[in-house]
């Protein structure tokens, strides 16, 4: 007798789910196996750190930088995450920004953008290098002795205005040796040759322009030990050292030795 039994049908959904489970198991096994054997794979592919190239590291502490990068010669590069290294490197005091790249098979490149040191700041607990915002970057060492020294209460907080003012007179920028913030309201600037410039409160930019004009016409900045008082808006007061010889006219051509 002919049988009319119907064949069983497997739902499409069940087939798809089963296939995904099998595929997922294979992928998980493959990734896990690769992870367990990463040293062996690294050796075959050459995926070990052979070149660690750093650009832009002028002031940053080298040992601290190596620790933040976290790689040594011949370390496996499988699983290396450039974003993690970037985040760690940017924690360093001198680093403003970092770029980290891996170039196959065995090179890691780190490019640093360091903060620009603009001055030294004398605080109660030591001397610091500060940036254009007046923020301390790190403790100062002897290599930064060429920078002007800021002193006085609130001098670091008012440093940005000072730097902006100096930018208006770039011809005087590299001649400033120190700046003292007086009474938390105005600056005294010490230049080369012990030239002292007393700036007014709140009108320093215009005073610096006045100083430039005076210096262009009279070369006052060449007189050793002169005091240039710009604190009064409508006048300039010059105080000359006792040993300045004016017999040859202005500016002084020579100075007599004081006894």
Write down the mean pLDDT value for the chain.
82
Vertex 253, ends 248 and 257: CA angle to 5°?
Answer: 100
**CA-to-CA distance for 114 and 27, rounded, in angstroms?**
43
pTM value?
0.74
**CA-to-CA distance for 130 and 229, rounded, in angstroms?**
28
Q: How sure is the predictor about 16, in pLDDT bands with cuts at 50, 70 and 90? A: very low
Q: Which two tokens stand for residue 235?
A: 């006048």
Burial 141-171 (b: 16+ CB within 10 A, else e): eeebeebbbbbbeebbebbbebbebbeebee
Q: Under a CB-based contact definition with an 8 Å cutoff, are residues 234 and 206 in contact?
A: no
Q: Give the pLDDT score at 4.
A: 44
24 vs 138, more confident: 138
Q: Give the pLDDT score at 126.
A: 95
**CA-to-CA distance for 96 and 131, rounded, in angstroms?**
11
**Phi, psi (deg, nearest 5) at residue 243:** -90, 10
Q: How sure is the predictor about 203, in pLDDT bands with cuts at 50, 70 and 90? A: confident
- The model's pLDDT over 78-128, given as tens digits with 9 standing for 90+, comes to 888 999 999 999 999 999 999 999 988 899 999 999 999 999 999 999 999
Give the CB-side neighbour count of residue 184, counting CA atoms within 13 A: 3
Strands (E), the chain: 51-55, 95-103, 107-114, 119-123, 126-130, 136-139, 149-151, 176-182, 186-191, 195-198, 227-229, 237-239, 244-245, 254-255
- Mean pLDDT of the 5-30 span: 47
47 vs 252, more confident: 47
Count Cβ atoms below 10 Å from residue 110 Cβ, excluding itself: 22
**High-pLDDT (> 90) share of the chain, %:** 54
Q: Give the pLDDT score at 43.
A: 52
- Return the top range by mean pLDDT from 152-156, 174-178, 216-220: 152-156
**244 - beta bridge partners?**
255
Q: Give the pLDDT score at 79.
A: 85
């Amino acid at each position: 007798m002919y049988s009319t039994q119907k064949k069983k049908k497997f739902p499409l959904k069940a087939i798809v789910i089963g296939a995904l489970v099998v595929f997922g198991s294979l992928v998980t096994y493959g990734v896990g196996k690769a992870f367990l054997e990463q040293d062996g794979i690294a050796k075959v592919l050459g995926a070990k750190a052979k070149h660690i190239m750093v650009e832009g590291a002028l002031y940053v502490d080298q040992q601290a930088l190596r620790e933040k990068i976290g790689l040594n010669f011949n370390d496996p590069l499988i699983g290396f995450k450039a974003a993690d290294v970037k985040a760690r490197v940017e924690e360093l005091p001198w680093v403003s920004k970092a770029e980290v790249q891996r170039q196959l098979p065995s090179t890691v490149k780190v490019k640093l953008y360091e903060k620009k040191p603009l001055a030294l700041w004398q605080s109660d607990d030591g001397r610091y290098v500060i940036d254009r915002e007046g923020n301390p970057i790190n403790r100062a060492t002897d290599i930064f002795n060429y920078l002007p020294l800021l002193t006085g209460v609130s001098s670091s907080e008012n440093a940005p205005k000072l730097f902006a003012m100096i930018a208006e007179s770039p011809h005087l920028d590299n001649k400033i040796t120190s700046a003292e913030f007086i009474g938390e309201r105005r600056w005294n600037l010490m230049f080369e040759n012990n030239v002292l410039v007393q700036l007014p409160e709140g009108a320093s930019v215009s005073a610096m322009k006045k100083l430039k004009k005076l210096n262009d016409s009279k070369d006052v900045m060449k007189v050793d030990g002169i005091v240039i008082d710009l604190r009064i808006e409508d006048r300039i007061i010059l105080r000359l050292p006792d040993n300045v010889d004016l017999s040859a006219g202005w500016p002084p051509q020579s100075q007599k030795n004081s006894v």
